[in-house]
Chains A and B, each alone.
Chain A
């Protein structure tokens, strides 16, 4: 029974990404490579961050402001990483186009670029879910479960799976938004992404308060849905623009 529960928690966190992976990414080898490298990049960033914070952990005082600082620095570091990822991607795009020329194939389409962004975002999201949720799941397969003091209604594993799902969504689609924002030079999109990320991170601070998870998690999902709809609207706008342009030319 607990094995089924453990698998269930894992699927709550990663199920949507899994179906995204199978349906979109897995048949294009290059996207798999993008996903893997973005996951690795995220892991490296996490290791660097934890190396910095290692000296201060665990916090002895039971206050939440050190965590606020921690989340603030981590998020800003990761947003810097996103810009680095974008620079890397620009180079990659040139390289891919050069290869496409050589192989007598068309250059990257708009959808291809979006797919690369999606794969990169999914890599970040999956890395988040894997390290913050799945890797803590090992005890869930055992004969017991675990409740935290601050949110004692729901098992900790289920809670972390639910939070991880929200973050997977945010990470995945904010990468698409950010890449489009960079490509178009659209300031709103460029700032939208870090703001969403920071707000989402800060919202998890609400969980600090006893019973805060009943407030924090709905807000988190609100943010995730906001990201999703923003991304959807932006992609459909770009695609229709692209089609109109293609029709005219």
Chain B
């Protein structure tokens, strides 16, 4: 009686939307607090990165000049990304996972330490926080090390990993917002298009990667946010089905120091089945079950009995086809993942779930996964909107979130990896310009006369 259907529908969607919202919110705050007088975002100190390799935008240039330059920038950037993605696919194909792994650890370290560090520095300057350099260095070092560990090692609370994923997204997005305006818009659109091609077209690098990963029955090698919180160490027990919960990813970021973009690929962590890990696994089984319990609705008892419970994955999907226990247990182990590898995609892999057996209960957990690139570029869009006005921020936020919702609904219908950028970015850009051009004069005109409706 107490548990109505309202509580069980849409849990997964909200699980993805809330971190995205948090990420966007923090980026907007960051952009706001840093946008005035400080070197971090002052326009004259434009840093040359891979995203504006060809053309450095100058406010005094003519419109056609800006457009042309921005287009060139975007094309170069996308080509770079495509090359690096293919490289990643090749490396993955030849099983160079160790190389990828260490390289990505280094990249994460680099992002946290230098890019994060410079953001912290400008925050300290901005708010005149009294902190001495030794303390600051120590704190930054600790933050970085824990960050690298939590992103790439098992046995770390999932909440922490999620937190650091969001942090990573925020840091990279904050740097991307330093790009000049025209370049940002064209770049976003170009990336959305690239994402569409890379994930859906036959032979697209991300599609290849996904297929490769699923044919090896492994996780995708990409940096991914996992929406399923209950599963702390995602290690599979039982029959040794897929485990490496550690999803890895590649994310691109501009590296200021080298003044070129480097793609930072995060390799997927291979599952090391050594005793230690199994011990961890064993130690965590109880945890796991308990957490599941919290999430379970009453009737999921029936799930225990082996009945298939059908409940909609997404409100209006064809629910009958999806058997899913409300909380991420499912027996056929589909796993939705949104994976980003330099650019995001949403993947719903087949049978990639982890099976966990204990007491004869087979629990397969599933989660929607959202690539870090989605976080980054959504936040870039909102951050860019924040430089204009708060109104555009709200409009873009709503547009992006609804685009994400559409993507997730499509995901449950198509059941394959989907790009998460195109719908959201297109809606976001559309709403930005509609708001800026149409709505703002209307709202300001009526509201300043104190007329509302």
List residues of A whose CB falls within 8 A of some B CB.
Answer: 27-33, 36-37, 39-40, 43, 46-47, 49-51, 53-54, 57-59, 67, 70-71, 74-75, 78, 92, 95-96, 98-100, 102-109, 112, 115-116, 128, 130-138, 148, 150-151, 156, 159-160, 163-164, 167, 197, 200-201, 204-205, 207-208, 213, 216
**How far is the CB of A136 from the nearest CB of chain B, in Å?**
6
Closest residue of chain B to A53 (Cβ to Cβ) is: B442
B299 pairs with A95, CB closer than 8 A: no
A30 pairs with B394, CB closer than 8 A: no
B311 pairs with A204, CB closer than 8 A: no
- Majority-rule SS of A interface residues: helix
Measured between beta carbons, the chain A residues less than 8 angstroms from B443 are 46, 50, 131-132, 135-136
Verify if B391 is at the interface (C-beta below 8 Å from A). yes
B441 pairs with A33, CB closer than 8 A: no
B451 pairs with A208, CB closer than 8 A: yes
Q: Which one of A37, A109, A131, A204 has the highest number of Cβ atoms from chain B below 10 Å of its Cβ? A: A131
B11 pairs with A29, CB closer than 8 A: yes
Q: Which one of B7, B11, B311, B398 has the highest number of Cβ atoms from chain A below 10 Å of its Cβ? A: B398
Measured between beta carbons, the chain A residues less than 8 angstroms from B438 are 47, 50-51, 54
Say which residue of B9, B449, B453 sits within 8 Å of A29 (CB atoms).
B9
B453 pairs with A108, CB closer than 8 A: no
On whether A135 and B310 interact (CB within 8 A), knowing A67-B449, A150-B450, the answer reads no
On whether A30 and B310 interact (CB within 8 A), knowing A54-B442, A100-B5, A131-B391, the answer reads no
A99 pairs with B5, CB closer than 8 A: yes
Given contacts A106-B4, A204-B453, 13 further A-B contacts (CB under 8 A): A29-B7, A33-B13, A36-B405, A43-B394, A47-B431, A50-B442, A105-B3, A108-B6, A138-B390, A150-B450, A156-B448, A201-B451, A207-B451
**How far is the CB of B261 from the nearest CB of chain A, in Å?**
33
B425-453 CB contacts (< 8 Å) to partner A: 431, 434-435, 438-439, 441-453
**How far is the CB of A103 from the nearest CB of chain B, in Å?**
4
Sample 24 A-B pairs with CB under 8 A, ordered by A number.
A30-B6, A30-B7, A30-B9, A30-B10, A32-B14, A33-B14, A47-B395, A50-B438, A51-B434, A58-B441, A58-B445, A59-B445, A67-B446, A71-B451, A100-B5, A109-B4, A112-B4, A132-B447, A135-B390, A135-B443, A136-B390, A159-B450, A208-B450, A216-B450
- Majority-rule SS of B interface residues: helix
For chain B, the bracket of interface size reads 35 or more
Verify if B320 is at the interface (C-beta below 8 Å from A). yes
Measured between beta carbons, the chain A residues less than 8 angstroms from B320 are 102
Closest residue of chain B to A212 (Cβ to Cβ) is: B450
**How far is the CB of B307 from the nearest CB of chain A, in Å?**
9
A102 pairs with B310, CB closer than 8 A: yes
**How far is the CB of B18 from the nearest CB of chain A, in Å?**
9
B451 pairs with A67, CB closer than 8 A: yes
Give Cα distance in the complex from A131 to B309, angstroms: 42
A96 pairs with B9, CB closer than 8 A: yes
Verify if B383 is at the interface (C-beta below 8 Å from A). no
A36 pairs with B402, CB closer than 8 A: yes
Verify if B319 is at the interface (C-beta below 8 Å from A). yes
B450 pairs with A135, CB closer than 8 A: no
Q: Which one of A36, A78, A159, A216 has the highest number of Cβ atoms from chain B below 10 Å of its Cβ? A: A36
B5 pairs with A105, CB closer than 8 A: yes
Measured between beta carbons, the chain B residues less than 8 angstroms from A102 are 310-312, 319-320
Say which residue of A59, A128, A136, A151 sits within 8 Å of B444 (CB atoms).
A136
Verify if B302 is at the interface (C-beta below 8 Å from A). yes
Measured between beta carbons, the chain A residues less than 8 angstroms from B453 are 71, 74-75, 78, 167, 197, 200-201, 204
B4 pairs with A105, CB closer than 8 A: yes
Closest residue of chain A to B393 (Cβ to Cβ) is: A135
B390 pairs with A103, CB closer than 8 A: no
**How far is the CB of B387 from the nearest CB of chain A, in Å?**
11
B7 pairs with A57, CB closer than 8 A: no
Measured between beta carbons, the chain A residues less than 8 angstroms from B63 are none
Give Cα distance in the complex from A24 to B395, angstroms: 25
**How far is the CB of A8 from the nearest CB of chain B, in Å?**
16
Give Cα distance in the complex from A92 to B11, angstroms: 17
Measured between beta carbons, the chain A residues less than 8 angstroms from B316 are 92, 95
**How far is the CB of B342 from the nearest CB of chain A, in Å?**
28
B319 pairs with A49, CB closer than 8 A: no
Give Cα distance in the complex from A85 to B9, angstroms: 20
**How far is the CB of A246 from the nearest CB of chain B, in Å?**
11
Measured between beta carbons, the chain A residues less than 8 angstroms from B450 are 148, 150-151, 156, 159-160, 163, 204, 207-208, 213, 216
Measured between beta carbons, the chain A residues less than 8 angstroms from B6 are 28, 30-31, 96, 108, 112, 115-116
